[in-house]
Structure 1
Amino acid sequence: MDRAGGLRERKKEETRRAVHAAAVRLTAELGYEQVTVEAIAEAANVSRRTFSNYFSCKEEALLHGEHVYMRSLTQAVLDRPGDEGAWTALRAAARGVYAHWGRPTDRAGWARAKLARKHPALLARLLANHAELARDLERALDGRRLPEGVRPAVLVAVFLACLRVSLETWTGEEAARDLAEIAEEVLDEAEAPFRP
């Protein structure tokens, strides 16, 4: 039973990734406004109904990579040793996640990041996703040692602002360097007030 369930989940994730990849590819080729849900479904070789089983709209399909990134960042914080301070756990989680994301060879990631900041509908959804990520990270920090006088919401807001600046720098440099390298620089600049 578990094996069948695992296979089913893998197939679902493969379909989700295929639809996401088709959405990103078509948007890069045709432009955001020209891409329809039907075109994405056709390019991913799935039905319109199957598309709707995975995503509610084309914006959600386009930003699926962002959603995966958010889940992995939150999980990476939860997986850190419980005796680490909050800022240390956040930095280590980002370092681990960025080891797999944001390399100069990750042109798809760079294209997604650039695209998401160009279109109001995508930007609105991205901002909503970031608000959700902030709440999730605050919960993930529950029970961790915080810098004196700093609330979890403030710490998370500074951390996410650093990641945003890193991403904007990375896209501005057209992914010439690792996103991880840029994030380390930006987090170093912000870290001093949050050292335990």
Structure 2
Amino acid sequence: MTGEVGLRERKKAATRAALSAAANRLAVELGVEHVTVEAIAAAADVSPRTFHNYFSSREEAIVASIIDWSERLIDELELRPADEPVWDSLQHVYLGTLDDSPAARDRMIAQIDMVMANPTVIASQLAAFDAMRRRFAAAIAARTGTDAGRDLYPHLIAGAAAQAVKTSMELWAHGLTDRPLREMVAEGFEQFRAGLPQPGRQPG
């Protein structure tokens, strides 16, 4: 029975991923306004009814990869040594998922341009990032003995880590730097750990 449940869950995850990938590809190729649920379902080789079993809208499908990415990161975070400093753990799991190849850069540019051209997708993306932050805060609270329902600490750490990654991705994708993405993210984490000292000044 356990094996059957596991297989069923893997099939569901694969269908969800296929729908999200199809939604993203069509949105980039055609523009969000020209993408329909029927087209997404057809590209993923499922029915529109199956689409609605997973997502309530095309926008939700487009940004679903953010939620799925956060779940993978949290799974990795929970496997890190319990006595490892939380910033070390977060840096390890984030850097382990980043692709800074030229092809990845091109995909990220197309993705950012597609999102920024559509206000409804921007709203869905912001909601997805907020859900990601809350998931990370809960995981960080469990590692640090804090309470995500009461304490600032896990939320601030989760938000800072996500912002370091997001900002690095945006600068890297838009060609404002030729530094590797992983190097930028690692520096962002290091600056947060140091308390964001002003450049050119020694911490007092």
Bucket of the pairwise TM-score, normalised by the shorter protein: 0.7 to 0.9
1:141-185 CA distance string (max 9 Å, x none): 124289xxx833222222221111012113212997753233123
What is the rounded CA distance, in whole Å, between the counterparts of 1:43 and 1:96 in structure 2?
30
* Change over 3 Å in CA distance of 1:17–1:134 after alignment to 2: closer
What is the rounded CA distance, in whole Å, between the counterparts of 2:29 and 2:113 in structure 1?
14
TM-score by length of structure 1 reads 0.82
What is the rounded CA distance, in whole Å, between the counterparts of 1:5 and 1:79 in structure 2?
23
Q: Which has the higher contact order (CA 8 A, sep 6+)?
A: 1
How many residue pairs were aligned? 189
The alignment status of 1:131 with 2:133, answered yes or no, reads: no
The runs of 5 or more residues in structure 2 that have no matched partner are 147-151, 197-204
- For 2:33, the equivalent position in structure 1 comes to 33
What is the rounded CA distance, in whole Å, between the counterparts of 1:187 and 1:47 in structure 2?
43
Deviation at 1:26, TM superposition (A): 1.4
* SS of the residue 1:81 aligns to: coil
State the AA in 2 paired with 1:3: G
The alignment status of 1:189 with 2:191, answered yes or no, reads: yes
Q: CA RMSD in A?
A: 2.7
User: Do 2:67 and 2:131's aligned partners in 1 also have CA atoms closer than 8 Å?
Assistant: no
User: Do 2:109 and 2:174's aligned partners in 1 also have CA atoms closer than 8 Å?
Assistant: no
Deviation at 1:6, TM superposition (A): 2.7
Deviation at 1:50, TM superposition (A): 0.7
> Taking every aligned residue pair, what percent have the same amino acid on both sides?
35
The alignment status of 1:68 with 2:68, answered yes or no, reads: yes
Deviation at 1:2, TM superposition (A): 2.8
* Change over 3 Å in CA distance of 1:15–1:151 after alignment to 2: closer
State the AA in 2 paired with 1:9: E
- For 2:116, the equivalent position in structure 1 comes to 117
What is the rounded CA distance, in whole Å, between the counterparts of 1:38 and 1:174 in structure 2?
38
- For 1:140, the equivalent position in structure 2 comes to 139
* Change over 3 Å in CA distance of 1:111–1:34 after alignment to 2: same
